[in-house]
Amino acid sequence: MKKKFVAIAVMVLMVSCFTLPASAHEFSPERYFQLLVKNGSNSMPNINFTYNITKFTANTTFQARALESINNWASAVAAIKPAVINEPNASTAKAIFSDNWPNTFDPTKPGVAVSAPLITSTIYTYKSGWGTPKTASSVQMISQTAIYANRVLLLNLGYSDNDLRHNYAHEIGHALGFTEANDGTLSIMKQGRGSTFGWADYWKPRTHDVSDMTTKYQLKLWS
Ligand SMILES: [Zn+2]
């Protein structure tokens, strides 16, 4: 009798542990990238990731790293068919990239993503085949995200190209609606200098991030 109870208790604990990380990297209420379009009969939406890269200084290194980070996300989450679209008009782009660190920002931070305004919206989770919605929940849509790298600081610290890619890819994660992941998960959303993590490919979205994207965006529509 006692043994049986212990076995059940262990099972419950394991389930709790395995279900924790999926929700641990979400804002509350959840945030979503706004420019999503239903992909026909497919169970995944398209993400039209419209980006602007007109706000850079003459240092072309940072612009190049930002572009590579956008494309690394697009390659990693191919299952949801993302489209990356260069939008020359910064006011209409959903993600605006820059290496100009505003002097009102904390000079010790390597990067920042400013997502605003946040629009309260309802998102519906569907059963497979886009049938009757299963659940509806209140979320926030990100209308626009400005992504900055602290060029002066990062040059002073001697950030490698991969560190710079990690920095931009992490901020793109915020634009897609994810928050920090400092719980030991191998994730692009871990804060810090990527090359100190001791992971391969630390500058690219990891398996966990692709799984988070799939869970977050699969079979969802909103009003
Ligand atoms: Zn962050």
Does pTM surpass 0.75? Answer: yes
| pLDDT attached to residue 25 | 86
| pLDDT attached to residue 9 | 40
What is the 190 CA–ligand 1 centroid distance (Å)?
7
Q: Is the pLDDT of residue 176 over 60?
A: yes
Domains, the chain, with CATH or none: 31-222 (3.40.390.10)
Amino acid code (one letter) for 186: L
Beta strands in 127-206 (DSSP E): 133-142, 145-149
What is the 124 CA–ligand 1 centroid distance (Å)?
27
CB proximity list for 100: less than 8 A, separation 6 or greater: 55, 56, 57, 148, 151
Confidence of residue 61 (pLDDT cuts 50, 70, 90): very high
What is the 104 CA–ligand 1 centroid distance (Å)?
18
| pLDDT attached to residue 201 | 96
Q: Is the pLDDT of residue 111 over 90?
A: yes
What is the 209 CA–ligand 1 centroid distance (Å)?
14
| pLDDT attached to residue 42 | 56
| pLDDT attached to residue 37 | 67
| pLDDT attached to residue 21 | 42
Distance CA 170, CA 192 (A): 10
Confidence of residue 216 (pLDDT cuts 50, 70, 90): confident
Distance CA 110, CA 158 (A): 12
What is the 54 CA–ligand 1 centroid distance (Å)?
23
What φ, ψ does residue 63 adopt, rounded to 5°? -60, -40
Beta strands in 111-164 (DSSP E): 111-115, 118-126, 133-142, 145-149
What is the 178 CA–ligand 1 centroid distance (Å)?
9
Kindly state the tokens that stand for 108.
């010790």
pLDDT in tens, 62-103: 999 999 999 999 999 876 677 899 999 999 999 999 999 999
Q: Is the pLDDT of residue 223 over 80?
A: no
